[in-house]
Amino acid sequence: MASIDDRNKAFWNELCGSTLARRLGIADDSAESLRKFDDWYFDFYPYLFDHIAFDRMAGRTVLEIGLGYGTVSGRLMQAGADYHGLDIAEGPVAMARHRAALLGKSANIQTGSALAIPFADATFDDVITIGCLHHTGDLARALTEVARVTRPGGSASIMVYSAVSYRQWMRAPMATWQRNARPEFDWTNADDRSRRAYDANLEGDAAPSTTFISPAEAESFLRRLYGSVTVTPRNVGDDFLPARLLPRALGRRLFERRLGLDLYINCAK
Ligand SMILES: C[S@@+](CC[C@H](N)C(=O)[O-])C[C@H]1O[C@@H](n2cnc3c(N)ncnc32)[C@H](O)[C@@H]1O
């Protein structure tokens, strides 16, 4: 069987967000189409601004890992960061380079794996990685790699999927109860159905690898690598009935801190 890096390289070559882009009627990568995509993205995930300090990025040496459609990449470049981008697949790298060209920014954007980040120890002021590390097939190693390239005094903003979100409670209540009550690392790959519920391509295939982690597990693992760690659960989808009955912002506010799908982890070294 091909390595997990090779399988991710093939799967993610189709930009994640392609289904959304199709739904929004986006058929090209013009500046106007990308603005439409980005407006939707930041409107849907407004709390990104709480977890990524875009307004303090000017002049800082920043690494983003896992680029997708490049919305965060573009914003970091616009903010004046000395921007470095890394992704396992060619498609997201090409998109981030295209964005740099549209913005008239010089940036270093390359293919490579979060499992072996191609930079020396303590290179970056900030490492940003949203929705990526849980797909690498080795979340523990990816988190350790992120810490390795963060300089002392620097920061990391990480988003990974929660092992104790409402979706996990609905799918496997006993296992989720146990994991919540007694945190235990489970670095194994989720089954096909669970992976598809989070990430599927235009064909409906699930991402090759997805690992979940609880807030307590994330905190205890990362405290060994960083001086301070804050874990904030965010995001409820419309597969959560109580939230579906309410305006999205209110549903989120009521439920996400206990049951949110995504863990935003802010670390300072
Ligand atoms: C779900 S997308 C998230 C993209 C973007 N950060 C966002 O929030 O829309 C996951 C991204 O991680 C990348 N990725 C997956 N495995 C990787 C690895 N081992 N190293 C680097 N990037 C990886 C994929 O190619 C994809 O661009």
Per-residue pLDDT band for 184 (boundaries 50, 70, 90) equals confident
Average pLDDT over residues 214-234: 97
Rounded distance, CA 204 to CA 192, Å? 11
DSSP code string of 27-63: -S--HHHHHHHHHHHHHHSTTHHHHS-GGG-TT-EEE
- 234 touches 158 (CB < 8 A): no
Q: Is the CB of 113 under 6 A from ligand 1?
A: yes
User: Taking 90 as the threshold, does the pLDDT of residue 247 lie above it?
Assistant: no
pLDDT single digits (tens) 208-222: 999 999 999 999 999
What is the distance in A from the centroid of ligand 1 to the CA of 181? Answer: 30
User: Taking 80 as the threshold, does the pLDDT of residue 234 lie above it?
Assistant: yes
pLDDT at 84: 98
pTM of the model: 0.97
pLDDT single digits (tens) 120-166: 999 999 999 999 999 999 999 999 999 999 999 999 999 999 999 99
Q: Is the CB of 17 under 6 A from ligand 1?
A: yes
Written as one letter, the residue type at 71 is T
pLDDT at 248: 86
Rounded distance, CA 78 to CA 58, Å? 9
Q: Is the CB of 114 under 6 A from ligand 1?
A: yes
pLDDT at 1: 77
Residue whose CA lies nearest to ligand 1 atom number 10: 132
Average pLDDT over residues 17-21: 96
Rounded distance, CA 40 to CA 44, Å? 6
What is the distance in A from the centroid of ligand 1 to the CA of 246? Answer: 31
pLDDT at 225: 98
Domains and CATH numbers, the chain: 4-268 (3.40.50.150)
Q: Please give the share of the chain, as a percent, with pLDDT higher than 70.
A: 100
Q: Provide the strand spans (E) within 121-242.
A: 124-130, 150-161, 228-234
Q: Order of strands, edge to edge, in the sheet holding 61-65?
A: 108-111, 82-87, 61-65, 124-130, 150-161, 262-268, 228-234
pLDDT at 185: 87
Residue 125's SS3 state is strand
